């Protein structure tokens, strides 16, 4: 895997703003595919702030520069202002497909698709919006990117500009999260457990204390340059748990058996 993998979420977009209360949404918004949502003026400022943080605190010479093929990600990548960047847009980094719910606001989704959201509450990890993707399917897309990083970027430094939910898929796969761990974070009210606009997640194989290179990306740092109070801003050792037979049985027995 790369020595360093830096993930950056796009800045605030038209789609993000449309989810806010009392926002006047133009009719054209409902007939434009979400791939073409632009950054707002605030989103541009956020991208510039993230770029300033990257240039100040990280080595900005990357072997490979990837971005989602969606406009808001490409626009964010450009506004980071990384010197000598050569970006490779890829559709595998596109945001989660929300199917027919994509262009509806949160209020409209809750009102018009009550049955679907009732189904979502059973298990959000496996649930898929009508004609859209589940988190499981999103993880499968991320695996394609990770395969490329294994094959082409071993020992190199890579930066990826993409989206909130696909960054969650990266977290799930790189950190080997269980479904239960993901759901706990997904339901958390702690801002440290969110992925905010222009959030930066840095994975590394370099031990932050000894500076020795390890075989795996064992450390992660999460930073929100637009508001450092929203992120932990410190290196965290990744603990990847493997289960014994006894632990698997105990996990299964937490679920009430309905049919004997």
Predicted confidence at residue 20, as pLDDT, reads 81
Mean pLDDT of 223-231: 96
Predicted confidence at residue 62, as pLDDT, reads 96
User: What confidence tens digit (pLDDT) does each residue in 11-59 have?
Assistant: 999 989 888 877 888 888 888 889 999 999 999 999 999 999 999 999 8
Mean pLDDT of 89-113: 89
Tell me whether residue 203 is in a domain.
yes
Tell me whether residue 231 is in a domain.
yes
CATH of the domain at 171: 3.40.50.1240
DSSP codes, 173-235: HHTT--HHHHHHHHT---GGGS--TT-EEEEESB-TTT--B-SS--EEEEE-TT-GGGS--SE
Question: Which structural domain, as residue segments, surrounds residue 138?
Answer: 4-253
Identify the sign of the CA torsion 195, 233, 75, 38: positive
For residues 140 and 172, is the Cβ–Cβ distance under 8 A? no
For residues 105 and 79, is the Cβ–Cβ distance under 8 A? no
Structure tokens at 85: 């960047």
Tell me whether residue 57 is in a domain.
yes
Tell me whether residue 258 is in a domain.
no
- Least Cα distance to 195 among 176, 178, 170, 159 occurs for 170
Number of domains in the chain: 1
Tell me whether residue 75 is in a domain.
yes
Sequence-ordered list of residues with C-beta below 8 angstroms from that of 195, at least 6 positions apart, any chain: 9, 164, 167, 168, 201
Confidence of residue 237 (pLDDT cuts 50, 70, 90): very high
For residue 9, the SS3 value is strand
| Euclidean distance between CA atoms 22 and 20, whole angstroms | 7
For residue 88, the SS3 value is strand
| Euclidean distance between CA atoms 112 and 119, whole angstroms | 14
Predicted confidence at residue 19, as pLDDT, reads 83
Residue 56: Cβ-neighbour burial (10 angstroms; 0-12, 13-18, 19+) = exposed
Predicted confidence at residue 140, as pLDDT, reads 96
Tell me whether residue 259 is in a domain.
no
| Euclidean distance between CA atoms 25 and 162, whole angstroms | 24
pTM confidence score: 0.93
């Amino acid at each position: 895997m790369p020595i360093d993998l830096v993930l950056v979420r796009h800045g605030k977009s038209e789609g993000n703003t449309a989810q806010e209360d009392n926002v006047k949404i133009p009719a054209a918004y409902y007939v434009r595919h979400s791939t073409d949502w632009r950054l707002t003026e605030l989103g541009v400022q956020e991208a510039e702030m993230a770029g300033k943080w990257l240039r100040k605190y990280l080595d900005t010479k990357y072997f490979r520069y990837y971005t989602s093929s969606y406009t808001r990600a490409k626009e964010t990548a450009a506004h980071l202002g990384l010197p000598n960047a050569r970006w490779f847009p890829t559709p595998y980094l596109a945001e989660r497909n929300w199917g027919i719910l994509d262009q509806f606001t949160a209020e409209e989704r809750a009102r018009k698709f009550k049955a679907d959201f009732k189904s979502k509450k059973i298990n959000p990890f496996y649930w898929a919006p009508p004609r859209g993707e589940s988190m499981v399917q999103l993880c499968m897309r991320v695996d394609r990117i990770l395969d490329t990083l294994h094959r082409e970027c071993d020992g190199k430094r890579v930066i990826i500009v993409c989206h909130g939910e696909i960054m969650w898929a990266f977290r799930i796969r790189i950190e080997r999260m269980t479904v239960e761990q993901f759901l706990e974070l997904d339901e958390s009210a702690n801002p440290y457990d969110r992925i905010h606009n222009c959030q930066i997640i840095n994975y590394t194989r370099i031990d932050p204390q000894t500076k020795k290179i390890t075989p795996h990306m064992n450390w992660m740092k999460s930073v929100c340059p637009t508001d450092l109070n929203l992120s932990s801003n410190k290196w965290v050792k990744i603990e990847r748990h493997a289960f014994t037979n006894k632990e698997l049985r105990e996990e299964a027995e937490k679920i009430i058996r309905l049919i004997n």
